[in-house]
Amino acid sequence: MTSPLYAIYGASGCGRGIMPVARQLLVSSGIDRSRLVFVDDAPSAANINDHRVLRYEAFLNEDASERFVAIAIADGRVRADVSKRCEVDRILHWTVQAANAVVMDDVSIGEGALLSPFVTLTSNIQIGSHFHCNLYSYVEHDCRIGNFVTFAPGVKCNGNIVVEDYAYIGAGAILRQGAPDSPLRIGRGAVVGMGAVVTRDVASGTTVVGNPARPIEQRS
C-alpha cells in the first residue's frame, strides 16, 4: 500500500532549520525518512541535507496515499498564498513541533504551526493557523496570536498581548506585557524590527524599530 508523503515547503534557511525537527517527528513515529522531502518553487539543488528537493508539480505527481506539507516561509502573506494553493490541491497541513518545545495549560494552536526547539508557550493562549515560532522564542500567558504570524528567534512575547494576522516580530524583540483589560496590540501586517522594545501599540501595517520602538514607515 502506498504510504503518505510529507514535505517542508521551502528549502531556504527557514526550511532547512525545521527539517531536522520534522524528520525526528516522523522517524520516532516509525515513518521512513525517505517519505520526507523539500518542496521549492526554484530549487537550487536536487538534494539538500540528504532529502530530495521537488518542485510543487513533481510533489503532486509523486505516488502517495496522502500528502502533508509544513510551510517554512517566513513571510506570512506568502505563506497564506501557498496554503491556499495546497488546499486547492487537497494537500493536508502539517504541524511540526520540536520535542523540547514546552506547551503548558489551555493553549490552543491552529493547524500548520512550526514550533522550533526551545520554544515555550505558557498558559491560556490562543494561536491561529500557520504560526512560526522560532528558536528560543516564548509566548506568555493570556496572549492571542493571529493567523500567519512569524516570530523570529528569541522573541519575548509577554502576557496580555494581541498579535494580529501577518505580523512579523524580529529576532530578539521584546513585547511589553499588557493589562488584562487593555492588552498591548500589534496590528495586522505590522513589522517589529530586530531587537526592538515595544512599549505601546503598533498600528496595522507599521514597521517599528529601536528602544523604545518607534515607527519608521507605513506599509500599504
pLDDT in tens, 14-61: 999 999 999 999 999 999 999 999 999 999 999 999 999 999 999 999
**In the chain, ranges of CATH 3.40.50.20 domains:** 5-94
The 10s digit of each residue's pLDDT in 137-189 is: 999 999 999 999 999 999 999 999 999 999 999 999 999 999 999 999 999 99
| Domain at 5-94, CATH class | alpha beta
**Residue 52, φ and ψ in degrees, nearest 5:** -65, 150
Looking at residue 217, its amino acid is E
51 is annotated as an active-site residue? no
**In the chain, ranges of CATH 2.160.10.10 domains:** 97-214
Q: Of 51, 130, 132, 141, which one is the catalytic site residue?
A: 141
Tell me which residue of 212, 163, 161, 198 sits closest to 182, measured CA to CA: 161
- pTM value is 0.95
How far apart (Å, rounded) are the C-alpha atoms in residues 191 and 210?
Answer: 12
pLDDT score, position 1: 62
Which homologous superfamily is 97-214 in? Hexapeptide repeat proteins (2.160.10.10)
